[in-house]
Amino acid sequence: MAGRVLIVGDQAGGRILLMSRLAAARCQVVGTPTYGEALAEAGAKAPDLVVLDVAPPAGAAVGLCRALRAELGAVPVLALARAPGAALRQAVLTAGADDVLDRDCGDALLHARVRALMRARSEDADLMLREDTRDALGFAEPAAAFEAPGVIGLVAARAETAQAWRAALAPHLRDRIEVLAPTDPFRAGPAGARPDVFVIETDLPRPEDGLALVSELRSGPAGRKARIIALAPEGAEAAAAAALDLGADDAVAGAVEPLELVLRIRAQLRGKARADRLRRQISDGLRLAVTDPLTGLFNRRYAMSALARIAEAAAASGRSFAVMVIDLDRFKAVNDRHGHAAGDAVLVEAARRIAGALRAQDLVARLGGEEFLAVMPETGVAEAEAAAERLRRAICQAPFRVPGAAEPLALTTSIGVAVGGPAGAGGAGGAEGAAGASGAPAETTGLVEQADRALYAAKARGRNRVSLVRSAA
Amino acid sequence: MAGRVLIVGDQAGGRILLMSRLAAARCQVVGTPTYGEALAEAGAKAPDLVVLDVAPPAGAAVGLCRALRAELGAVPVLALARAPGAALRQAVLTAGADDVLDRDCGDALLHARVRALMRARSEDADLMLREDTRDALGFAEPAAAFEAPGVIGLVAARAETAQAWRAALAPHLRDRIEVLAPTDPFRAGPAGARPDVFVIETDLPRPEDGLALVSELRSGPAGRKARIIALAPEGAEAAAAAALDLGADDAVAGAVEPLELVLRIRAQLRGKARADRLRRQISDGLRLAVTDPLTGLFNRRYAMSALARIAEAAAASGRSFAVMVIDLDRFKAVNDRHGHAAGDAVLVEAARRIAGALRAQDLVARLGGEEFLAVMPETGVAEAEAAAERLRRAICQAPFRVPGAAEPLALTTSIGVAVGGPAGAGGAGGAEGAAGASGAPAETTGLVEQADRALYAAKARGRNRVSLVRSAA
């Protein structure tokens, strides 16, 4: 897998043994620091995974684990300890380790655990954007603000087992805990919510049933982004390893105390919430790419591609459609006299009035500056003229209250309208400059240019009026 | 997994048998049309997977397979046929099926194959954006334009086997084919290229070695996005099923003719290229969110967050930095006299000159209209004034050639400069309106407002000049 692993241990023999065991899993060991050197090495070597050899007394390793967690961000930490008891396991997990394994476990489990942590790391890296893009979009590392309670689904061979888990977990978790039927774990719970974390017995009742369930969850829309904790019987390391390789996020072979299970569930809930936030940021970022940040209207890029689609639909349906270019009159004077903040407030209010004067199916965009575009599907000349007139009145009939101006400001608007359609005369203009740069086909940019010329005619005729290109109807 | 499956077959008995076999894999069977009903049902039911029962004579099923492929886009099609020979297998794969299985294969392989296809479908759905966003960004379904040749990595237990594969494949593929050592398949090839598609023997030389390699590839950065075709020995259905569940994209138990392997490799290359395109579109889309589409400069959103970071760095380093607001003089006259295309050409050229007059480490953005922002890290008053003067000359010293204007246009610019720093006086202004909306902290927007006021002073003093706020130094 060629992932970069940092092996941390205070005993040379332990480090050397781990080096050879991890090399067999084709890991790239990038360093083998002692406890004292670990933090500096972790910062310098940018590992994908830290493997921490826990030597007694455990206090030093637990403290180091906490420090590594703070230093490493989302890089996973795997702790190995000799026959770790319940107290040590909980201490290490609480300190931020992703898992604690018995140092004497077989290579199959160790390798599968390392692979699963590497896989999680790669998925995380996929979701993280390039740093500059992230910063620019105001993302940075997503804040772990208030998290809504999650949903935990328990799947055990016998209903009594799952009920007992629930009784033991409930006092420690504020999340909803649901017992799911092993035959039908995909059915959403009573409230329709799908589990964020599944806890699954691997023996359900046959050994391979739980593993098949892990594969099924990973393959389908219902469980692909859920987290999975697989619980295998005492000594069933092969089943735990298989669960990890099939896509489980966490797996334990042997009895797990309720408090340890609580820690493991909480870690998976945190990881899931973080991944959900990162995915949300990506889709928010993409939405920003089509929005004018000041007014919240669509931007020119979106408008031009939407216009092309509306023109195509019109050609298919045989109905005409209207394009309006809307320009606030003498807007520059607002900026010059009252400052940019006042000008921006006027634009925001004008956007609100324009959108309010049109129908839900109409498209409204800000082309830039004080210029707006409206596209009205399935609209003829008379309707378009009436809408433009409504729009003109919406701007001039009440003054704009803005910060920095003692009195509300009286504003007017000039509007150019062109109507296109299957037989429309929209294809006249060339498509140079901005319109051409937007990638919209010549017919639609031609229509915008016609509306633009009509707008200039309205301005020339004294402003605060609508001008219509009749030839295009 | 709760995926939606459409079962297509002309024999009622075959459809009923498949229904029960797929229900055992917890699929949701959404329809069981005959061949004649299949296309309409596929359109109406929006399945995640189509399972096609191929009955002799095979011609009808092959034709239907081709039609389904055209109708369904990226929805996978799994064909089942009784003991399909080499010719039928190739015909069905050529017609666009994702796989063809023997109808008498065991449930383990059938279920694993279905899970793997469902998984691929879910991953594809993740990469597809919401349709409106995709359209707006000009994405649509990515065009399968010219694809650069891919890299294929062959991993077999014996080097002779891999060499023989290469000799058989080479005449049919224009891609680079590399024989990889099973002990070290992660090493990039001679030209440093990583395989797009791995073909892996599952017995390498022990049965589990190839499976471990599949898991390793899936977990690490080197192979996570590569495609994997697993080849298991004749009759080793369990190994093929395991490979699929561990993350292989395709798996065959039994001998594969070279022409069939060519078809399978080509299908994986196409799928990989498509996923790569979708991923690229997402990152391009995110880049658009920070860019001004006309000039290619950063937009206001990016500028404000970058400015906040530069201010933070300045506070940490104790060095001052400069902010310039740059406004083209009487720009509206260009639009009014020569049209928007000419105005846009002027803005593009002005952006080029502004960026050219500054240093690589300086930030240049278009704030909107004819207004630009420059931020110069580690810059004092004297340097800032000299840079602004250089910039002013870059605009006025040569006229602008633009389309639609008979003569080149002489333009000038007014520039307001403010210098901020650790002890800077930048925090004066409030942050209402646009600046506040950008999310930038008050100190940095205050500095932009100071530069803005200096700009207005430059305009008031007759334009084509630089005005500096000295108090901030």
Among A301-305, B55-59, B450-454, the minimum mean pLDDT is found in A301-305
Predicted confidence (pLDDT) at residue A191 exceeds the cutoff of 90 = no
Q: Do B133 and A306 touch (CB under 8 A)?
A: no
**pLDDT attached to residue A144:** 54
Can you tell me the mean pLDDT for B411-423?
88
**pLDDT attached to residue B31:** 95
Same domain, A101 and A146: no
Out of A83, A104, A127, a domain closes at: A127
Same domain, A319 and A445: yes
Same domain, B188 and B236: yes
Domain boundaries, position A311? 300-472
**pLDDT attached to residue B428:** 35
Mean pLDDT of chain B: 86
**B194 CB neighbour count, 10 Å cutoff:** 18
Same domain, B76 and B29: yes
**pLDDT attached to residue B246:** 93
**A309 CB neighbour count, 10 Å cutoff:** 18
A179 — contact with chain B (CB < 8 Å)?
no
Higher-pLDDT residue of A40, A188: A40
Nearest-5° Cα angle at A286, A141 to B4 = 100
Can you tell me the mean pLDDT for B211-234?
89
Can you tell me the mean pLDDT for A65-70?
94
The fraction of chain B above a pLDDT of 90, given in percent, is: 60
Predicted confidence (pLDDT) at residue A138 exceeds the cutoff of 60 = no
Do residues B97 and B77 make contact, with C-beta atoms less than 8 angstroms apart? Answer: yes
Q: Do A293 and B301 touch (CB under 8 A)?
A: yes
Q: Do A215 and B186 touch (CB under 8 A)?
A: no
CA atoms within 13 A on the CB side of A143: 3
In a domain, A66, yes or no: yes
B301 — contact with chain A (CB < 8 Å)?
yes
Of B293, B301, B345, the CB nearest to A136: B301
Residue-wise pLDDT for B369-395, tens only, equals 899 999 999 999 999 999 999 999 999
| Nearest chain A Cα distance for residue B370, angstroms | 9
**Distance (Å, whole) CA B144 – CA A195:** 38
| Nearest chain B Cα distance for residue A112, angstroms | 8
Out of A83, A106, A127, a domain closes at: A127
Predicted confidence (pLDDT) at residue B410 exceeds the cutoff of 90 = yes
Same domain, A342 and A264: no
Residue-wise pLDDT for A339-376, tens only, equals 888 999 999 999 999 999 998 889 999 998 899 999 99
Do residues B336 and B431 make contact, with C-beta atoms less than 8 angstroms apart? Answer: no
Predicted confidence (pLDDT) at residue B179 exceeds the cutoff of 50 = yes
Of A115, A136, A332, the CB nearest to B305: A136
**pLDDT attached to residue B1:** 56
**Distance (Å, whole) CA B393 – CA A321:** 47
Among A101-105, A131-135, B342-346, the minimum mean pLDDT is found in A131-135
In a domain, B294, yes or no: no
Do residues A261 and A199 make contact, with C-beta atoms less than 8 angstroms apart? Answer: yes
Q: Do B221 and A437 touch (CB under 8 A)?
A: no
pLDDT category of residue B424 using cuts at 50, 70 and 90: very low
Same domain, B435 and B325: yes
| Nearest chain B Cα distance for residue A306, angstroms | 7
Q: Do A115 and B215 touch (CB under 8 A)?
A: yes
The four Cα atoms B139, B140, B141, B145 give a dihedral, to 10 degrees, of -60
**pLDDT attached to residue A137:** 60
pLDDT category of residue A131 using cuts at 50, 70 and 90: low
Give me the amino acid identity at A355.
A
Total count of domains within chain B: 3
Predicted confidence (pLDDT) at residue A187 exceeds the cutoff of 80 = no
In a domain, A156, yes or no: yes
Chosen from A126, A216, A332 to mutate, greatest number of chain B CBs within 10 A: A216
- Structure tokens of A242? 């298989």
CATH number at residue B310: 3.30.70.270
Do residues B466 and B388 make contact, with C-beta atoms less than 8 angstroms apart? Answer: yes
Same domain, A119 and A219: no
Same domain, B246 and B382: no
Nearest-5° Cα angle at B239, B234 to B243 = 125
**pLDDT attached to residue A100:** 96
CATH number at residue A207: 3.40.50.2300
- Structure tokens of A364? 């409204």
Residues 6+ positions from A20 with CB-CB distance below 8 Å: none
Q: Do B138 and A305 touch (CB under 8 A)?
A: yes
Same domain, A432 and A377: yes
In a domain, B70, yes or no: yes
pLDDT category of residue A182 using cuts at 50, 70 and 90: confident
Residue-wise pLDDT for B271-325, tens only, equals 999 888 888 878 777 777 788 888 989 888 788 888 888 888 888 888 999 999 9
In a domain, A81, yes or no: yes
Do residues B145 and B190 make contact, with C-beta atoms less than 8 angstroms apart? Answer: no
In a domain, B403, yes or no: yes
> H helices then E strands: how many in chain B?
16, 15
SS3 B325: strand
Out of B260, B289, B318, a domain closes at: B289
Among A6-15, A176-185, A321-330, the minimum mean pLDDT is found in A176-185
Residue-wise pLDDT for A293-336, tens only, equals 889 898 887 888 888 888 888 888 888 999 999 999 999 889 88
Residue-wise pLDDT for B7-24, tens only, equals 999 999 999 999 999 988
Residue-wise pLDDT for B68-84, tens only, equals 999 888 899 999 999 99
Same domain, B96 and B69: yes
Same domain, A318 and A247: no
In a domain, B111, yes or no: no
Same domain, B327 and B441: yes
Query: Per-residue DSSP letters for B62-107?
Result: HHHHHHHHHHHTT--EEEEESS--HHHHHHHHHTT-SEEEETTS-H
Residues 6+ positions from B139 with CB-CB distance below 8 Å: B129, B281, B285
Higher-pLDDT residue of A127, B49: B49
Across the strands, what pairs with B469? B418
**Distance (Å, whole) CA A51 – CA A15:** 10
The DSSP 8-state label assigned to residue B246 in this structure reads T
In a domain, B224, yes or no: yes
Q: Do B223 and A1 touch (CB under 8 A)?
A: yes
Residues 6+ positions from A460 with CB-CB distance below 8 Å: none
Can you tell me the mean pLDDT for A165-188?
88
**pLDDT attached to residue A135:** 59
Mean pLDDT of chain A: 86
Q: Do A220 and B122 touch (CB under 8 A)?
A: yes
**pLDDT attached to residue A190:** 58
Which residues numbered 110-169 in A keep a CB inside 8 Å of some CB on B?
111-112, 115-116, 118-119, 122, 125, 129-130, 133, 135-138
